[in-house]
Chains A and B, each alone.
Chain A
Amino acid sequence: VEEKKGHDEL
């Protein structure tokens, strides 16, 4: 399972 990337939206 790919670890959730950080928040990439504004």
Chain B
Amino acid sequence: MNLFRILGDLSHLVSIFILLQKMRSTRSCAGISLRTQILYLMVYCTRYLDIFWTFNASLYNSSMKLVFILSTAYTIYLMRTVYKTALDPQIDTFATYYLVGGAGLLAVLFPYKYTVYEVLWSFSIWLESVAILPQLFMLQRTGEAETITTHYLFALGAYRALYIPNWLYRWFLEGHFDPIATVAGIIQTLLYSDFFYIYYTKVLKGKKFELP
């Protein structure tokens, strides 16, 4: 455990609370992609399957896993019930089947081992790297976002970005290297680069998030 990883995980946790707070304060899920949320639920359910048998890993890991699964399921539940009037299937249209199919293909081609758990783990890593695309696509179509939504996206993107120095740290200091997670994590962070740039140049300077 190192500082980068802790900060990354906290950023991940904070992002979920910002999203719930956004829905509560605006009484709406406008601007949030249901498709991205469903992809994240798939990511957590396939990666964190091991909560049922690895009680010994750490209480920290197990509790975080449970929180991620339950809070994302709760977010989806809220979006499909309480806040469903703000859902806009006309805007949230990214072809998610390609993302699931691509992640599935990579998982079957390059798992660390051919076991159900390892293939699903690899699938979850690749799927996570692109799960934000429906959300970013939606943002591009609307051309603007509420400030609280941009904070959510920043915290979510910062989580994987902070894992990169964590992986470097572990590689140099612990001799631990996980090529699948590292390559996918770098791709994931690159997908956020435009967003990070606009967040930095506009939102952090008090302006509204608008695409040029």
Q: Which residues on A are within 8 Å of B, measured CB to CB? A: 4, 6-10
Q: Which 7 A-B pairs have the closest CB atoms?
A: A10-B64, A10-B9, A7-B121, A8-B57, A6-B54, A10-B61, A10-B65
CB-CB nearest in chain A for B48? A10
B169 an interface residue at 8 Å Cβ cutoff?
no
Residues of B within 8 A of A (CB-CB), count = 18
Q: How far is the CA of A4 from the CA of B68 in the complex (A)?
A: 25
Give the residues in chain B near A10, CB-CB below 8 Å: 9, 12, 61, 64-65, 68
Give the residues in chain B near A4, CB-CB below 8 Å: 112
Report whether over half of chain B's contact residues are helix, strand or loop; otherwise say mixed. Answer: helix
Give the residues in chain A near B50, CB-CB below 8 Å: 6-7
B5 an interface residue at 8 Å Cβ cutoff?
yes
Give the residues in chain B near A6, CB-CB below 8 Å: 50, 54, 57
Shortest CB-to-CB span from B4 to chain A, Å, is 11
Instruction: Please tell me which one of the listed residues B5, B54, B68, B112 contacts residue A9 in the complex, with CB atoms under 8 A apart.
Output: B5
Give the residues in chain B near A9, CB-CB below 8 Å: 5, 163, 166, 178, 181
Q: List 10 A-B contacts (CB under 8 A).
A: A6-B57, A7-B47, A7-B50, A7-B178, A8-B57, A8-B61, A9-B163, A9-B181, A10-B64, A10-B65
Give the residues in chain A near B178, CB-CB below 8 Å: 7, 9
Give the residues in chain A near B181, CB-CB below 8 Å: 9
Give the residues in chain B near A8, CB-CB below 8 Å: 57-58, 61
Q: How far is the CA of A1 from the CA of B65 in the complex (A)?
A: 30
Q: How far is the CA of A9 from the CA of B121 in the complex (A)?
A: 11
Give the residues in chain A near B61, CB-CB below 8 Å: 8, 10
